[in-house]
Structure 1
Amino acid sequence: MGLITAAIPFFLLALVLELTLDRWRGWGLYRLNDTIGSLGAGIMSRVVGLVRVGILMLVYIPLYQWLEPTYQNLGINWSLDNPWHMVLAIVLYDFFYYWRHRIAHEVNIFWAEHVVHHQSEDYNLSTALRQSSGFVPLAWMFYLPLLLVGMPPEVLLTAGAIDLIYQFWVHTQKFPKIQWMEWILVSPSNHRVHHAQNKVYVDRNYGGVLIIWDRLFGTYQEELDDEPCIYGVRKPLNTFDPFAANLQHLKRMWLDAVYTKSWKEKLTLWFRATGYRPADAEAAMPVPSGDLDNFQRFDPLVNRGVRWYALAQHLSYTLATVGLLFMGSGLDFATTALAVILVIAGLILNGRILDGNSATRYWELGRLALLAVSIPLLPQLVWTAVAGYCLVSAGLWWWLVFNDKDDTVTSVSH
């Protein structure tokens, strides 16, 4: 079991604690739809990882093995058991993470992979779990220089996991500035800046564990008392569907490449500055940025019963994902892939339900029917549970959506 998978229960416990305090004290940090949207993206990133080969290790391990005799001759010998080795590994990893993260904000194709993490218009611990599913797998190349110091794959993976786990806690609005920390470590204050779309805050504070990289390379910005952070991206996603979230920027670049008449633009727009669009494509398909002076979060009005249904479904997908992560090694690839597809289908439909999309009244029944006919392909251990889930969910959905003509899943502007 990896460190990140092992940390998931603690992530969820901390999230529930912050959510409880939010409701008790009336902070207003959490909205059901946005939280489910963020957690849905996180679930999708984890289940996709079950059926996708990690390119970093696919490249890194053979290169390390090829260079291993050279490391031995030079006396390079990293050890997971040596705490000083691990401290050095985390510092080195974080240095390259800084450049990976910075390029992800500055180059179109890299932003397509990273934008998912920034789409939430709220900022709380659920935002930390909003991760990309890696449809544009390019981040791996930034860590190849660690071969120059002979870092073994297991040390690299451990340092990367610790770096990512550290970043969880900084996604909160309720931790104040601590001056010494702002100089050395990534803190909730300077990471709030990173997630803000205010002009003064955009493209700042890229560090994962250490903020010293931003201070050294001129990308540091302090959180200002007179400039409250406005979270989200300048071109809002406006859906809670995690699959659409992963495709948002990639789809826009693809449409631009298809539309523009310039072959030079078709080939180069992917590697231009983030947000760059060919002039003819932008004129034909304008995508306005959000109005920060009159900022309104995407928050469609959906029937309360339907919102509770979406929450129950999300908890079901969470339970299914935890089961896959902790016990999936005993399943063959085909069964795992089927389970992953069924979970992703549920996440997509759940996001669209919270969007207030009226088509989901039929699509949700179709999803449950598909799951029901797939039962014989799943492990026999879960047949009864899945069958019961399908019957209960179908009955609840029918009662909520079809029982009363006026009680439908509709979006109401407000």
Structure 2
Amino acid sequence: MGLVTAAIPFFLLAVLIELALDRWRGWGLYRLNDAIGSLGAGILSRILGLVRVGILILVYAPLYQWLEPTYLALGISWSIGNPWHLVLAVIAYDFCYYWKHRFSHEINIFWAEHLVHHQSEDYNLTTALRQSSDLVPLGWIFYLPLLLIGMPWEILVTAGALDLIYQFWVHTQKFPKVRWMEWILVTPSNHRVHHAQNKVYVDRNYGGVLIIWDRLFGTYQEELDDEPCIYGVRKPLNTFDPLAANLQHFKRMWLDALHTKSWKEKLTLWFRATGYRPADAEAAMPVPSGDLDNFHRFDPQIPRSLRWYALVQHLIYSAATLALLAGASELSYGTITLMVSMLVVGLVVNGRILDGEARSRHWELARLALLAATLPLLPPVVWLPAVAYCLASGAVWWLLVFGNKDDTVTPVRN
């Protein structure tokens, strides 16, 4: 089990603590739909990692082995048991992460992957878990320079995990600005800036652990007392469907490539500056940016009973994901793929329920029927609980959607 997977229970515990404080203190940092949308994106990222090959290791490990005699000749030797080597590895990794992160904001194709992490219009610890699924993995190329210092792939993976785990805690609004920390480390204050869509804050503070890279390369911006952060992206997602979140910018670029008449534009728009669109495609399909002077978060109102249903379903998906991650080594690739597919369908439909999508009333029944139909292909140990789950969920959903006409709407604070 990797470090990030092992840390997931602690992440979830921290989320529960912040949520409890939010409700006790009345901060208004959490909305159920947005939190589930972010956590759903995090689940999607982790489970899709079970069915795809990690390209970084696929490329990096053979290159390291090829260069290993040269490293030995030069006396370059890393030890994962040496804490100073690990500190140096995290610093080196974070330098590469800075440039990867910066390019992810500056180039269309890279932004399409990274955009997912910024779509939440709230800012709390669930935002940290809102990760891209790397549908078109390209970020690995930024870590190849670590071969120049002979970093073994095992240390690279460990440094990357530590870098990512550190970034969890900075996604909170309730940790104050600490002056000395702002000069050296990424903190909640300077990372709030990074997630804000205010003009003064856009494309700033790219560091993962260290903020010194931003100070060195001119991308640092302090959080201003007179400029409250407005979170989210300029072209809002407006859905809690995590698959749609991953496809948002890819879909827009694909449609632009179809509509533009210029073959040069069709081929190059993917690698142009973030937000670039061919003039003829933009004229045919204008996509206005959000009005920050009259900003309203996407917050569809659905019956309270459906909110509770979506929450329970999300908790079940979370438990199933943790079980799958823990037991994946004992399952065949085909079984893992099927289980991942069922979870993806569940996450998508759950997001659409929170959107208030009318068609989700039929989609949820179809999802449960599909899950029941695939049971013979799943391990026998899950048959009984899966049948009970399908019957119970189907009965509750039928009563809520087709039998209850008197639900009231839950008010949500903006």
Corresponding residue number in structure 2 for 1:4: 4
The match for 1:238 is: 238
- C-alpha distance in 2 between matches for 1:315 and 1:404: 23
Alignment pair present for 1:371 and 2:371: yes
CA distance in 2, matches of 1:346, 1:215: 43
TM-score, with normalisation over the residues of structure 1?
0.98
Q: More deviation in 208-217 or 401-410?
A: 401-410
| Percent of aligned pairs sharing the same letter | 77
Q: Aligned residue for 1:90?
A: 90
Output the CA distance in 1 between the equivalents of 2:82 and 2:4: 21
User: What are the Cα deviations for residues 68-102 of structure 1, in whole angstroms up to 9, with x where unaligned?
Assistant: 11111111110100011001000000000000000
Shift of the alpha carbon at 1:409?
A: 10
- What is the aligned partner in structure 2 of residue 351 from structure 1? 351
Q: Identify the residue that residue 171 of structure 1 maps to in structure 2.
A: 171
Give 1:292's aligned residue. 292
SS of residue in 2 equivalent to 1:176: coil
- Secondary structure (helix, strand or coil) at the match of 2:15 reads helix
Conservation of the 8 A alpha-carbon contact between 2:304 and 2:408: no
CA deviation map 1:90-121 (0-9, x unaligned):
00000000000000000000000000000000
* Aligned amino acid, residue 128 of structure 1: A
Task: Give deviations 1:303-324, integer Å, cap 9, x for gaps.
Answer: 0000000000000100110001
Q: Distance in 2 between matches of 1:266 and 1:370?
A: 38
Gaps of 5+ in 2: none
Does the 8 Å contact 1:97/1:208 carry over to 2? yes
- Kindly state the Cα deviation for residue 407 of structure 1 after the two structures are TM-superposed: 5.2
* 8 Å Cα contact 1:361/1:409 also seen in 2: no
CA contact (8 A) 1:38 1:126 kept: yes
| TM, length-normalised to structure 2 | 0.98
Alignment correspondent of 2:198: 198
Segment drifting more, 396-405 vs 291-300 = 396-405
User: Partner of 1:105 in structure 2?
Assistant: 105
* Compared CA separation, residues 70 and 168, structure 1 to 2 (3 A): same
Q: 1:25 to 1:407 in 2, by over 3 A?
A: closer
Task: Tell me which residue corresponds to 1:71.
Answer: 71
Q: Distance in 2 between matches of 1:377 and 1:44?
A: 22
**Which whole-Å CA distance do the structure 2 matches of 1:95 and 1:405 have between them?**
56
| Cross-structure match for 2:395 | 395
Per-residue CA distance 1:120-160 (angstroms, 9 max, x = gap): 00000000000000012000000000001110000000000
Count of aligned positions? 412
Structure 2: distance between partners of 1:345 and 1:408: 27
- 2:172 aligned partner, one-letter code: T
Counterpart for residue 258 of structure 1: 258
Q: Match of 1:135?
A: 135
CA distance in 2, matches of 1:408, 1:325: 38
CA distance in 2, matches of 1:409, 1:96: 47
- Report what 2:274 is aligned to: 274
Amino acid of the structure 2 residue aligned with 1:380 = P
Q: Distance in 1 between the 2:262 and 2:375 partners? A: 50
Provide, for residues 335-363 of structure 1, a one-character-per-residue CA deviation record: whole Å limited to 9, x for no partner: 00000000000000000000000000001
Using the alignment, how far apart are the partners of 2:381 and 2:233 within structure 1? 43
The match for 1:217 is 217
3-state DSSP of counterpart to 2:191? helix
